[in-house]
Structure formats: structure tokens, C-alpha cells
């Protein structure tokens, strides 16, 4: 089985459309040629020189990294910083580097936070801060086409049929379809290919309201309530972390838990407003711990630790689509933080 860099990326972008990355982010192909035949793939959190060496050792010429090594733009390549050295090494070794960052953070299905929620066995999960990325189209369809239209949607961008009103004569239905903005091109293509007689009467619009499948963080319920101390123990075991920085126990049992992989202090208020008993994230600063204000337990488990299972997630996404392909999880720990 063979695949090009472009074919591998297509699978990753079906899972996490790049349109869902934050404005400040730089996800996507950072270096390399889309047409290049892929010999092997190494998945990691950070593209470092050691990771590139591991890739080369394994015969991989594509590195799929959660964090983008090039983030703010590069003005020169002299090897003066580790970022410059990594990029130079990737080019020299002919290794393509692809980053899938905040777009992967924001997916409800197969996202960074869904993996954390699975590790903690959270139930009834939902996105903590859903994004307003719904789009909508009102489309007149010949009545006989409604069912085939619905069944073809899955493979063509998905979406949700909100209503289908039959006309007075019964030969036409006004179908109202809601979909993720990142899938708009696929939906447009699908609709155009149907050659509908009344296509000019279709009304495309931005839908108001947040999309439950896309956004920041996740919240859910523990399988059983536990004390603060027991929860921290559970957290350390499940997330394989040696150290949790946390606020004072609130005295209440922990049942509802919000999570956000990586730097998640920006969602603390949302977690409190949704009644979370604990908020599991990373990169909290001293003064941000005060903001818990006795309302919940902040548990900072470390940035790398919170995202380490993302590596397996990416490996699974690629392998399930290319079962005979060599996809390795990086053995090099790229965590720059050490505990003594």
C-alpha cells in the first residue's frame, strides 16, 4: 500500500478541518512536498531534533506533530534557534512536517479533549465552549429526492436535516439543512452535483447558535463521585502524571469534571459557570489559581501530560485509514519540563 503526503493529510483534515484552527495558530503542512510518496509516519507532540532523528532511524519521511514547530513565522534559517535548526534538519533529511493543533483541540469526535475524557471515563460529555460555526441552507428538493439526499449526506460533508416541509402539491419539499462551516465546500459540491431544478431558490446562511461538535474543552460526569483527594489520585493514575498542582479542596465531592488539554486557563470561568467540581488542564499561572475562588478544584497536570495521549489518537486515525502503513508513536519524550 502506498500513499502520498497529500493523501495522509486528507484523512487528518477530514477528522479536524484546518478551518477550525484558532487565528493565532499555524496548523497544516509546514515543510515538505504534498506529492511525495510516504515511506513511514512518526507521530509526536513536538517536532524536535531528537524526534527527526527518530523518524530518520525508522525510515519515516513524514512527521505528524500536534504542536507546530513554526508558529510565529521565520525570517532567517541560520541555526541560531532550535526552531531554525529543526526546520533545516527536516529539509536536509527530506522529512515532511505536518501540524494538527487547535483544530484537533476543538473536535468533539477524535479530539484532544475527547481522548482525555475517555481516559477519565467521563460520561455524558459535551463541548465546554461550543463554537459558532453552524451554517445552514434552505433547499427546495423534488419530494422523491429527499431520502436519497439524506442518505448521501454522510459521505459528502454530513450535516443535519432540521426540517423537510412538503409543498401544497406534495411534489416538492423545502429541506432545511444545518452543517459545520468547515464542510461548506463539500456540501456545495454535493448539492451542485444533484442538478436540482430549483437550485437558484436555495438560501445559504450563517446559522445562529453554537455547534455542539466543535469548540474548546469538554465537560462530563465521573462514573462515580469521589472526594478531592481520591480524585487527584485517580487523575494521576489515569493521566500517568507524577505531579498535580491544585487549588484547595472545596469540601464537595467531585462528580462533574471539565477538561482542556494544554493551556486552558481561558476556560476556567466557563467551567465554573457549568457547575464543574474540578477543572483539569495545564499551564495555570499563580494568580489564575486564585480565580477558582473555592468554587471548584483546579488540577494542573502539566501541558505535555495532558496531551500525551493525543499521539495515540493520531496514530489510530491514520492507521484505521491506512491499515498496512507504518505509523509509529514517537518514543522520544519531548516534554521540556522535568520534576525533581
Task: Verify binding: residue 32, Zn ion, rule CB under 5 A.
Answer: no
Q: Distance between CA 222 and CA 65 in Å, rounded?
A: 30
Supply the minimum distance, in Å, between the C-beta of residue 100 and Zn ion. 11
Rounded to 5°, the CA angle 297-226-285 comes to: 15
Min dist. Cβ of residue 43 to Zn ion (A): 14
> Could you give the maximum distance between any two Cα atoms of the chain, in Å?
76
Q: 17 and 102 in contact (C-beta within 8 Å)?
A: no
Residue closer to Zn ion, measured from CB, 9 or 282: 282
- Of the two residues 72 and 92, which places its CB atom closer to Zn ion in the complex? 72
Radius of gyration, CA atoms only, the chain = 23
As given in the structure block, the three cell numbers for residue 159 are: 450535516
Stretch that binds Zn ion, among 92-100, 181-189, 250-258, 260-268 (CB under 5 A): 260-268
Segment near Zn ion (CB under 5 A); pick from 4-12, 79-87, 118-126, 257-265: 257-265
Rounded CA separation 269/292 (Å): 8
264 binds Zn ion (CB under 5 A): no
Residues binding Zn ion: number (CB under 5 A) = 1
Strand partners, 29: 98
Least gap, CB of 232 to Zn ion (angstroms): 22
Contact between 215 and Zn ion per CB under 5 A: no
Residue whose CB is less far from Zn ion, 228 or 261? 261
Decide: is 262 part of the binding site for Zn ion (CB under 5 A): yes
Shortest distance in whole angstroms from residue 234 CB to Zn ion: 23
Determine the residue with CB nearest Zn ion. 262
Part in contact with Zn ion (CB under 5 A); list of ranges 46-54, 91-99, 239-247, 259-267: 259-267
Strand locations in 25-118 (E): 28-31, 41-44, 62-65, 96-99
Closest approach of Zn ion to the CB of residue 241, in Å: 15
For residues 154 and 192, the answer to whether their CB atoms sit within 8 Å is no
Whose CA is closest to 264, among 129, 68, 99, 88?
A: 129
Contact residues toward Zn ion (CB under 5 A) are 262
Amino acid at each position: 500500500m502506498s500513499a502520498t503526503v497529500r493523501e495522509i493529510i486528507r484523512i487528518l483534515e477530514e477528522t479536524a478541518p484546518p478551518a477550525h484552527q484558532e487565528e493565532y495558530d499555524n496548523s497544516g503542512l509546514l515543510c515538505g512536498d504534498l506529492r511525495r510518496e510516504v515511506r513511514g509516519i512518526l507521530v509526536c507532540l513536538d517536532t524536535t531534533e531528537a524526534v527527526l532523528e527518530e523518524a530518520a532511524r525508522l525510515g519515516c519521511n513524514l512527521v505528524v506533530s500536534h504542536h507546530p514547530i513554526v508558529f510565529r513565522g521565520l525570517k532567517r534559517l541560520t541555526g541560531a534557534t532550535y526552531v531554525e535548526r529543526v526546520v533545516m534538519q527536516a529539509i536536509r533529511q527530506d522529512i515532511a512536517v505536518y501540524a494538527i493543533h487547535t483544530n484537533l483541540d476543538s473536535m468533539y469526535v477524535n479530539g484532544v479533549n475527547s481522548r482525555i475524557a475517555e481516559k477519565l471515563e467521563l460520561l455524558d460529555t459535551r463541548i465546554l465552549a461550543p463554537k459558532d460555526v453552524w451554517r445552514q441552507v434552505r433547499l427546495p428538493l423534488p419530494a422523491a429526492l429527499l431520502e436519497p439526499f439524506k442518505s448521501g449526506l454522510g459521505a459528502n460533508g454530513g450535516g443535519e436535516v432540521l426540517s423537510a416541509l412538503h409543498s401544497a402539491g406534495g411534489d416538492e419539499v423545502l429541506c432545511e439543512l444545518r452543517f459545520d462551516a468547515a464542510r461548506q465546500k463539500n456540501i456545495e459540491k454535493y448539492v451542485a452535483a444533484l442538478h436540482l431544478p430549483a437550485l437558484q431558490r436555495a438560501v445559504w446562511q450563517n446559522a445562529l447558535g453554537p455547534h455542539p461538535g466543535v469548540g474548546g474543552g469538554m465537560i462530563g460526569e465521573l462514573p462515580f463521585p469521589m472526594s478531592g483527594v481520591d480524585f487527584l489520585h485517580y487523575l494521576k493514575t489515569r493521566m500517568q502524571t507524577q505531579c498535580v498542582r491544585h487549588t484547595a479542596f472545596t469540601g464537595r465531592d467531585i462528580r462533574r469534571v471539565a477538561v482542556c488539554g494544554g493551556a486552558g486557563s481561558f476556560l476556567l470561568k466557563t467551567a465554573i459557570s457549568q457547575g464543574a467540581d474540578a477543572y483539569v488542564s495545564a499551564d495555570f499561572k499563580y494568580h489564575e489559581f486564585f480565580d477558582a475562588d473555592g468554587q471548584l478544584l483546579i488540577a494542573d497536570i502539566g501541558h505535555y501530560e495532558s496531551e500525551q495521549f493525543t499521539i495515540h489518537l493520531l496514530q489510530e486515525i491514520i492507521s484505521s485509514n491506512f491499515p498496512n502503513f507504518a505509523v509509529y508513536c514517537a518514543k522520544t519524550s519531548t516534554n521540556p519540563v522535568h520534576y525533581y
